[in-house]
Each structure stands twice: as structure tokens, then as C-alpha cells.
Amino acid sequence: MTLGAQFAMLATLLGTSKGVAGVPRASLVVLAATLSQFGLPLEGAAILLGIDQILDMGRTAVNVMGNCIATAVVARWEGVLDDAQMHASQDGRTTRVA
């Protein structure tokens, strides 16, 4: 594949993969569609069938962690992150700090 075709495939996969982490087995559909669009054999996607469930769990974990971190970053940026409550929660205290 030419370098331009590789960048086109990268852009296609980046655009079509949004929301894949929340749908089981959706990555295989996106991969199969992209492979057929660029005229590549679909046998490569069939190899992933055996391990896709494990990979799917990893994608979901990364997605959840990214969402949690983004929430904390935006909360701190907006000045609404309660540091005292966060530290109390980390220390195992369950009472709300006023």
C-alpha cells in the first residue's frame, strides 16, 4: 500500500471507530468494512475472532478509564472538584466533608 492509502485507511478507521468500545464485537464490523473498502482480504479479520473478546475487554477498560480521567480534569479545570472529599474517599472515610 502506498503511504497515502495508509493515511486514508488510518483516517477511515479513526472516524468509524468512534463508539466501538461500548458495543460488543463492533470492532470486527468496522475492521471488515474498512478492509473491504480498501480491497484487502477479509481473512485477516477472521484471525481476530478468537481473541476479540479479550481485546474488547481491554478496549472497554481503556474507554472507562479515559472517561474517568477526563471527568476529573474538566472538574478541576472548572473549579468544582472537591479535593477534601476526594482525599476522604481515598482514606476510606465515608462521611461527607463540609
98 residues of the chain, pLDDT tens digit each: 899 999 999 999 888 888 777 777 888 888 888 889 998 888 878 888 888 888 888 888 888 899 999 999 999 999 898 888 878 887 777 665 55
Query: What confidence score (pLDDT) does residue 96 get?
Result: 59
Query: What confidence score (pLDDT) does residue 10 get?
Result: 92
Domain boundaries, the chain: 3-90
Contact 28, 49 (CB under 8 A): yes
Whole-angstrom CA distances from 67 to 4, 62, 70, 76 are 32, 9, 5, 14
Distance, C-alpha 69 to centroid of its chain: 13
Query: What confidence score (pLDDT) does residue 95 get?
Result: 60
Q: Which residues lie below 8 Å from residue 21, measured CB to CB, with a gap of 6+?
A: 59, 60, 62, 63
- All cell numbers assigned to 38: 480498501
Query: What confidence score (pLDDT) does residue 98 get?
Result: 52
Q: What is the pTM of this model?
A: 0.59
The count of residues in the chain is 98
